[in-house]
Amino acid sequence: MTLFIAIAALALTALPAALFLVNLPLFQCLRPSDRRWALGVSRSPSDDAPPEPGVSVLIPARDEASAIGRCIEAALASEKVTVEVIVLDDDSSDSTAEIVAELGQADQRVRLIHGRPLPSGWNGKQHACWQLAAAATYDRLVFLDADVRLTPHALYQLILYQDETGVGLLSAFPHQITGTWLEKWLIPMMHFILLCYLPFSRMRDQPDASLAAGCGQLFLTSRQAYEKAGTHESIKQSRHDGVKLPRAYRASGIKTDVVDGTDLAECRMYRGAAEVIRGALKNATEGIAAPRLIVVFSVLLLGASALPLLALVLAIAEKHSVAIAISGVAILLAHLPRLVAVVRLRQSLLGALCHVPATTVFVLLQWIALANHLAGRQIAWRGRTEGAKHE
């Protein structure tokens, strides 16, 4: 029995580790040294600079006074694009609107609009993004969270990648800044699950909505594709636009893709354990904690993290040398993706070394989220408790 557990642990760790190594080169990291950026500085035969693409950066903001100024200033520093920044103040109780208004007085590229009252059946962020898109000047739309800071080359790199690939919706995963220990444990799980359990080649080759992926912090789309996909109205009840918006595009026959945004943007999503827990609980049942997925992912995630350690303990207790060796390899494979991500994605070494307890806590939070959903309990976020429609 111990040998069987060790072999099972090896299989459950080897498969995601292998897929991670296959996916990592496909998870393209866009840098200004890339050929795309070099092409951007070339000159036409007349030595005139090519026209800069216009892009509307659309930022929904509710009580974002601590971050909104830096977010806007970073977007305004974008190079090789003509940019406008539109911020929708969604009934903030802090000085968000005043900060944006002051920046707008100093730079005419910044525009502040005030959100309309939230209609029944809408999530606040989706309603804000829907209004922002209607107010945008340009056909290229970037939906940007207020806690994201772009690098100067980010927008141009994303536009060039979108033009080269023809995708209707492009999402970048920014570098995730983590401060407290629970942030370091849990925030990297977004990359771990993406790279270890989503086959990128199938995601790009097949239009299946179940293969959709994205990061709600940063989306680039065209107005034509956005309207064909039904705008944010198609996901108006969702709190999980990172998954639901790409699904809506794919359901409309539009290609979507994801790239590594480590060198394009940075974001500190949550601050402290309480925010991490609430953030994990608020939309989990639209992802892994969905009733049809939670058992499968619990087995996959715990089998690829805690099971190898259990197998090693049993093997040592029984002095089963073969099982000890297999369990040891499984433990190494379990930590391999997280350790590689420390270098490639600049993630926390502490989080990588604590992969087993981090995954255990992550899975536990998924089950708590499902229990809350089944009991009709809603998680308040930014002072709102609007629910989400679950499939």
Amino acid found at 345: L
What per-residue confidence (pLDDT) applies to 287?
86
Lowest mean pLDDT among 11-15, 164-168, 278-282, 301-305: 278-282
This prediction has a pTM of 0.92
Residue 386 is predicted with a pLDDT of 54
Position 197 confidence tier, pLDDT thresholds 50, 70, 90: very high
Percent share of the chain, pLDDT over 90: 84
Does residue 137 carry a pLDDT above 70? yes
Number of Cβ within 10 Å of residue 325's Cβ equals 14
343-359 in b/e form (b: 16+ CB < 10 A) is ebbebbeebbebbbebb
Burial of 374: CB neighbours in 10 Å, binned 0-12, 13-18, 19+: exposed
Strand partners, 381: 384
Q: How many CA atoms lie within 13 A of 115 on its CB side?
A: 28
The residue ranking higher by pLDDT, 18 or 285, is 18
Q: Given this model, what pLDDT does residue 30 score? A: 85
Average pLDDT for 188-216: 96
User: According to DSSP H, which parts of 1-64 are helical?
Assistant: 2-26, 35-40
Topology of domain 25-270 in CATH is Spore Coat Polysaccharide Biosynthesis Protein SpsA; Chain A (3.90.550)
Q: Does residue 46 carry a pLDDT above 70?
A: no
pLDDT at 32 over 90: no
Tell me the pLDDT band of 388, cut-offs 50, 70 and 90.
Answer: very low
158 CA to centre of own chain? 15
Distance CA 304, CA 302 (A): 5
Give the range among 16-20, 254-258, 331-335, 371-375 with minimum mean pLDDT: 371-375
Kindly list the domain boundaries of the chain, sorted by start residue.
Answer: 2-23+290-374, 25-270
Q: What are phi and psi for residue 139, nearest 5 degrees?
A: -85, -20
The pLDDT tens digits of the residues spanning 109-134 come to 999 999 999 999 999 999 999 999 99
Nearest alpha carbon to residue 162 among 227, 241, 258, 49:
258
Amino acid at 347: Q
Region 301-309 average pLDDT: 97
